[in-house]
């Protein structure tokens, strides 16, 4: 099943999500979230982005797309991460890099600061405890998704002057997204 993705302005994106306690339906949910993410051509999707305020996300490491061909993303999957109740145990280094978000389609910043390397503890879809060391791009993706679980969006990681510039430059688009988020919520509440 493909879920509608909640947009900037939806209050669920601002809430601190609750720990996952029930692992029964998680495999199915992970499949549906991956399908939703492939459809939207994303690298990660957090549960609040489908309206579920739970500490859970999926992320994928992709192989590079062959030059000049657009392949369905699912054909380029190198590794799938299904992550519940993540905790960052250790951070090292700082790098700026490009980020966007499926809840802020079309908006990007190239200067989002993140730790270069992290160690993360989490539970997999069966509730099994795991730890993982990540660096570079996947470390960035995990930090972005974990922020979603705390109600934080990528531009809020920018230092204040850059954050203000981002909000100013994208003022019209952000207002449009908020309007669209409200329309989607209304549609969903009417079933």
Catalytic positions, please? 145
Judged by CB under 5 A, the number of residues near Ni ion is 1
Residue 60 interacts with Ni ion (CB under 5 A)?
Answer: no
Contact yes or no for 57/122 (Cβ under 8 A): no
User: From residue 62 to residue 101, what is the string marking binding to Ni ion with x (rule CB under 5 A)?
Assistant: ---------------------------------------x
Q: Which is nearer to Ni ion, 101 or 146 (CB)?
A: 101
Contact yes or no for 29/56 (Cβ under 8 A): yes
**At 23, phi and psi to the nearest 5?**
-95, 0
Q: Buried (b) or exposed (e) across 38-56, using 16+ Cβ within 10 A?
A: beeebbbbbbbbbbbbbbb
Q: Which is nearer to Ni ion, 126 or 150 (CB)?
A: 150
Q: Which is nearer to Ni ion, 23 or 62 (CB)?
A: 62
- Contact positions vs Ni ion (CB under 5 A): 101
């Amino acid at each position: 099943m493909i879920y509608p993705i909640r947009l900037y302005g939806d209050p669920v994106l601002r809430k601190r999500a609750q720990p996952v306690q029930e692992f029964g339906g998680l495999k199915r949910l992970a499949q549906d979230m991956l399908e939703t993410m492939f459809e939207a051509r994303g690298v990660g999707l957090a549960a609040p982005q489908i309206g579920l305020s739970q500490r859970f996300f999926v992320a994928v490491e992709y192989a590079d797309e062959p030059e000049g061909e657009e392949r369905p993303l699912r054909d380029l999957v190198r590794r799938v991460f299904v992550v519940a109740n993540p905790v960052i145990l250790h951070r090292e280094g700082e790098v700026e890099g490009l980020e966007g978000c499926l809840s802020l389609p079309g908006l990007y910043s190239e200067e989002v600061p993140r730790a270069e390397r992290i160690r993360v503890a989490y539970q997999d879809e069966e509730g099994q405890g795991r730890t993982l060391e990540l660096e570079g791009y996947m470390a960035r993706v995990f930090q972005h998704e974990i922020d979603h679980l705390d109600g934080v969006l990528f531009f809020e990681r920018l230092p204040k002057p850059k954050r203000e510039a981002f909000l100013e430059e994208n003022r019209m688009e952000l207002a449009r997204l908020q309007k669209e988020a409200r329309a989607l919520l209304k549609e969903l509440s009417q079933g």
